[in-house]
Amino acid sequence: MERASLPSSIKILGLDADDTLWQNEEFFRLTQDRFADMLSAYMPPDPLHAELLAAERRNLGRYGYGIKGFMLSMVETAIDVSKGQVPAHVIHDILTMGRDMLNHPIHLLPGVAECLPRLAQEYALVLVTKGDLLHQEQKLAQSGLGDLFDDVHIVSEKHIT
């Protein structure tokens, strides 16, 4: 099978990281489900997810994107929906879930390990991703893909310029 080639005028390819090169969103969903189980005595899952999403949106300006902000929003939501009655062990479990997410190994998406080196031979690759600087740097290092990129930009927000 012949490979389709990109127009010769393209010299640089920009790529995102989370859920483009490696799995990410899956771990947030699994953690949200565990969070809903932990707080089931206070609120059913669907309204709880809505409360958590509202807290995350309110907190984006303070905490940015990423697991640390997600964790803090879970703690805030647990306190709010329980009217301050959430047990300390639940807060501890939320923090543990966040640490587990931060320590979770990187799993490249199918085809990335084969495709990216081939692209790097023909194009300058630039990684543009948003989130927590330290955690994104750790994920890139753990992925083993860092040397394939000519430039890396970890930003707090993505904007079209």
Position 102: which residue type? L
Domain extent listing, the chain:
12-22+107-155, 25-103
CA angle 114, 31, 22 (to 5 degrees): 10
**Is CATH 3.40.50.300 correct for 12-22+107-155?**
no
State residue 72's pLDDT score: 96
> In this predicted model, what pLDDT tens digit does every residue of 47-68 receive, in sequence order?
999 999 999 999 999 998 899 9
CA distance 82 to 47: 13
Both tokens of 72, joined, read 């803090």
76 versus 24: which is more confidently predicted? Answer: 76
Q: Please check the confidence at residue 2 and state whether its pLDDT lies above 60.
A: no
For all residues of the chain together, what is the average pLDDT? 92
Q: Which residue has the tokens 């995350």?
A: 56
Which residues partner with 127 through β-bridges?
A: 15, 152
pTM score:
0.83
> In this predicted model, what pLDDT tens digit does every residue of 4-21 receive, in sequence order?
565 678 899 999 999 899
Indicate the CATH number for domain 25-103: 1.10.150.240
State residue 4's pLDDT score: 58
